[in-house]
Amino acid sequence: MDKQPILSGHDYSYGAINTPATGNPAMYAPPAPGPTAPPANTYDVMPGYEGTVAGGEGGFLLPPSPEYPPPMPEQRPAQQDWTIPAISEDAAREALRSYVSSKCCYSDDPVKEGVITSIEPFNTYRYRLETFVESRSTEWAEQPYTGQQVDANLRHPPGPWDVQVQVPSMFQDGKHKVKVPYTSSVKPCHSCVGMGRRSCTHCGATGSKLCQMCNGTGFNNGSQCLSCRGRGRDRCFHCSGTGTSSCSTCNGKGQLLVYINLKVKWTNNLEDYVANQLSGLDAEKLKTVSGRELFRDVQYMVVTQLPLLEY
C-alpha cells in the first residue's frame, strides 16, 4: 500500500489558478486519496482458522466428524389411538352456521331449514419433518483500540466448534456472534497508517475551499471579496483549516483491536407432506386449521412411516 503524506492545512503552493489583488495565489484542492485495502499483514494466521478471510466471510465450517454415528432409535414411539370421533349433527350445523356468517351474501336458510341425512368423515394426514440445523462461519473483525484485553498467542485458540454458545429454543431460528478467545491483537490502523487522522476529503487536505462568494477570483462586484479578503479561498470548516480529520476507522486512536468473530446461525428447515388427501382440503390451508397430533418423535435421527397430524 502506497503511503500518501498528509498535507499541511497551511500549504498554499498546490495548483494556482489565479492571482487576486492581494498577490497571494488562490489555490485549488489536490485530488482526495481513495480508499485503500488493509495490508495483507494486518491479520495474523490463527491455527484452525487459516480459511478466515480478512474483511469478509471465511466460509461455513464443517463440524468435526463423530467417532461413531449417532445411535438409531431402538423403538418407535408408541402409536396413539387413531379412533376418529364422530361429529354430532348439532356440531355440523354449528360449523355450517359459522361458515355462512363469515360470508356477506350467503343465506342462512340451509342452516335453519336444511336436513342432514348423513355425515361421512374424510380425513387428511400430514407428516411434518422439522430439521434444526446449526451452522458456523468466521470472519475477521476490528474495532478502535481503547485498552481492551489482548490475548493472541497466550494460548491456542479453541476450534470453531469448541466455542461454547447459548443455544436458542429448539426449532427456533436464531443468530449469535461471539469473539473467539485468544485471537485478539493490536494493529496499526490501515486507513490512516496509524496516524489517527486522514486527509480531509472536503478540501483535499489544503485546509481551505474555493470561496463561493467570488468563485475563487478574490473580487466581488469589482471590489475585494469581503468573505475571503481577496484570497479566493475560505477556511474549510470540516477540518477547521487543518487539512486533516479524525480517522473514522479507528476513531482517531491510530490502532485497531483485530480479532476473529464466530458467527453461529440456527435454522429450522420445515418440510410438509400431505397423505391420504380424501377431504379435498387445500394443502396450503392446513396451516390455518386445527388438528389432532397422533405421533411425535424428536431425536438426532428419526425413522417413522406414521402420519403426524390428523385433520
Per-position DSSP letters for 225-245, written without gaps between them: -TTTTTSSEEE-TTTTTSSEE
Q: Where do the DSSP E strands lie in 180-222? A: 185-188, 197-199, 208-210, 219-220
Tell me what pLDDT residue 310 has: 44
Dist. CA 232–CA 217, nearest whole Å: 5
Stretches where the chain sits below pLDDT 50 are 1-37, 40-41, 305-311
pLDDT tens digits for range 89-130: 888 889 889 989 988 888 888 888 888 888 887 777 788 888
**Confidence at residue 174, expressed as pLDDT on a 0 to 100 scale:** 93
Phi, psi of 41 (to 5 degrees): -90, 10
* 284: CB partners within 8 A, 6+ apart: none
> Looking at residue 6, what is its pLDDT?
33
Q: Widest CA span of the chain, in angstroms?
A: 110
Residue 53, C-alpha cell as written in the block: 478471510
The grid coordinates of residue 218 equal: 478574490
